[in-house]
């Protein structure tokens, strides 16, 4: 949380055009929030339905999915989309502690950005930074436009 997923995802959509943006949080928008195995599986199922529907839409060429995901969650989503034979690019955005703290303090819109969630996000930095099955992009000291360009480069070089 706080590395720029939503900003980058929406920016990719603007840059690419004909692109659907799915924020995984929308697929688990229960009030009050309940994060357990049942709701997580429901969110994954919701994501799979949205991706499939966008994939089948003639007005959509690309789908950007943005969500805080464990490697297990990524595997479930990729497995759930195998029958579509779509090209999937896995990008993990990371940042350093200083950048995360600054972004967190400057975000006045997101009501759930509290000290407990900041602590959780800080504790997860090492886990996300050590991923080997993903294209890692450190967003700490670069602009959103540069990150978007890097992701487009990843897609075009494969």
The full set of domain ranges for the chain reads: 5-157
- pLDDT tens digits for range 138-148: 999 999 999 99
What letter would DSSP give residue 44? Answer: H
Confidence of residue 85 (pLDDT cuts 50, 70, 90): very high
Is residue 4 within 8 A of residue 66, CB to CB? The reply is: no
Instruction: Please state, for a pLDDT cut of 90, what percent of the chain lies above it.
Output: 66
CA distance 46 to 149: 29
User: Mean pLDDT over all residues of the chain?
Assistant: 91
CATH of domain 5-157: 3.40.50.300
- pLDDT tens digits for range 98-152: 998 888 877 766 666 667 778 888 888 888 888 888 999 999 999 999 999 999 9
What letter would DSSP give residue 89? Answer: -
Going from the C-alpha of 76 to that of each of 13, 81, 88, 111, the distances in angstroms are 24, 9, 13, 29
Strand pairing class (62-66; 19-23): parallel
> Backbone phi, then psi, for 93, in 5-degree steps?
-90, 135
Measured in residues, the chain has a length of: 158
């Amino acid at each position: 949380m706080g590395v720029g997923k939503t900003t980058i995802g929406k920016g990719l959509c603007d840059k690419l055009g004909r692109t659907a943006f799915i924020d995984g949080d929308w697929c688990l928008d229960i009030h009050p929030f309940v994060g357990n195995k049942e709701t997580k599986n429901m969110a994954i199922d919701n994501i799979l339905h949205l991706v499939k529907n966008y994939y089948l839409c003639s007005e959509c060429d690309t789908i950007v999915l943005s969500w805080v995901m464990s490697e297990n969650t990524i595997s479930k989503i990729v497995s759930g989309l195998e029958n579509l034979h779509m090209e999937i690019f896995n990008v993990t955005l990371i940042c350093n502690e200083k950048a995360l703290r600054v972004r967190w303090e400057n975000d006045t819109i997101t009501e759930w950005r509290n000290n407990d969630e900041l602590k959780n996000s800080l504790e997860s930095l090492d886990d996300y930074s050590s991923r080997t099955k993903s294209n890692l992009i450190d967003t700490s000291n670069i602009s959103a436009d540069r990150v978007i360009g890097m992701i487009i480069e990843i897609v075009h070089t494969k």
